[in-house]
């Protein structure tokens, strides 16, 4: 049950609060926290009642949750790889993008000068996303904050991973194999089919005596990359993303 009843908030503000809760997928016990998270300094009675302090806290919580997720999800990545991905995911541009995707710009409490501006600056959108993270954390704890953060950032991580590695899963598999098994992967051609102008190739990655799920590709290079990705997924205890007919 929210600590703020409809009588506690003006109708337009209550409507914005409830809309925000619906969009972020979290209902507040203390809606004053959400109100503060949405309030820019220009629309606050005092700076201390704006979202600036929440932004300070939310920045650290966001960084922690993303670091924890990357550390657990990508055990084959070196520290430098993790740092590069994290820096993109917690960047101001990504936070602003996530705010915009949630439609938070329509719900922010701004001063008259800002509210008549044709568009809200990305820096303000980034700030309000971090403020929301902190508000959810203070209201519901780290598990609620983690759930909210990961629901927003997980779709952003895959493309960043592919961008940082160039989609080079063979390189990632080689790093992991050398670190954990002191050997390098090998790739075996198992089958090919189709006419010369449109062949498909089936390749399997092996590490020592361990053989992973083969993968088909439109050329040998693609098949090897897919086989490497299958191996990485299986080593992480996940299903192979490119299962063959084996």
The catalytic site residues sit at: 59, 130
Structure tokens at 181: 């098994």
User: For tokens 């503060």, what's the residue?
Assistant: 36
Structure tokens at 134: 């902190």
Are the CB atoms for 43 and 16 separated by under 8 Å? Answer: no
Interstrand relation of 210-211 and 215-217 (parallel, antiparallel or unpaired)? unpaired
Are the CB atoms for 65 and 150 separated by under 8 Å? Answer: yes
Question: How many Cβ atoms sit within 10 Å of the Cβ of residue 139?
Answer: 20
Instruction: Tell me how far apart the alpha carbons of residues 147 and 6 are, in angstroms, rounded to a whole number.
Output: 27
DSSP state of 47: G
What residues have CB less than 8 Å from 134, skipping those under 6 apart? Answer: 37, 54, 55, 56, 57, 58, 61, 145
Are the CB atoms for 104 and 132 separated by under 8 Å? Answer: yes
**Measured between alpha carbons, how far apart are the two ends of the chain, in Å?**
53
């Amino acid at each position: 049950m929210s600590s703020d009843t409809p009588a506690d908030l003006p109708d337009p503000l209550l409507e914005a609060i409830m809309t925000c809760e619906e969009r972020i997928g979290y209902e507040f016990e203390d809606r004053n926290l959400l109100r503060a998270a949405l309030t820019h300094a220009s629309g606050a009675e005092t700076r201390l009642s704006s979202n600036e302090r929440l932004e300070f806290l939310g920045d650290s919580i966001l960084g922690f949750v993303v670091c924890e997720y990357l550390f657990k999800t990508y055990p084959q990545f070196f520290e430098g790889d993790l740092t590069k991905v994290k820096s993109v995911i917690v960047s101001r541009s990504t936070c602003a993008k996530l705010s915009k995707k949630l439609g938070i710009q329509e719900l922010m409490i701004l001063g008259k000068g800002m509210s008549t501006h044709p568009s809200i600056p990305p820096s303000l959108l980034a700030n309000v996303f971090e403020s929301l993270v902190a508000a959810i954390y203070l209201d519901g704890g780290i598990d609620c904050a983690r759930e909210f953060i990961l629901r927003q950032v997980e779709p952003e991580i895959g493309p960043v991973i592919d961008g940082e590695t160039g989609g080079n899963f063979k390189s990632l598999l080689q790093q992991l194999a050398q670190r954990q098994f002191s050997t390098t992967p090998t790739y075996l051609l198992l089958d090919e089919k189709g006419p010369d102008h449109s062949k498909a190739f089936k390749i399997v990655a092996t590490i020592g005596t361990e053989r992973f799920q083969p993968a088909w590709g439109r050329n040998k290079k693609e098949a090897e990359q897919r086989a490497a990705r299958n191996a990485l997924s299986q080593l992480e205890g996940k299903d192979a993303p490119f299962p063959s007919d084996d």
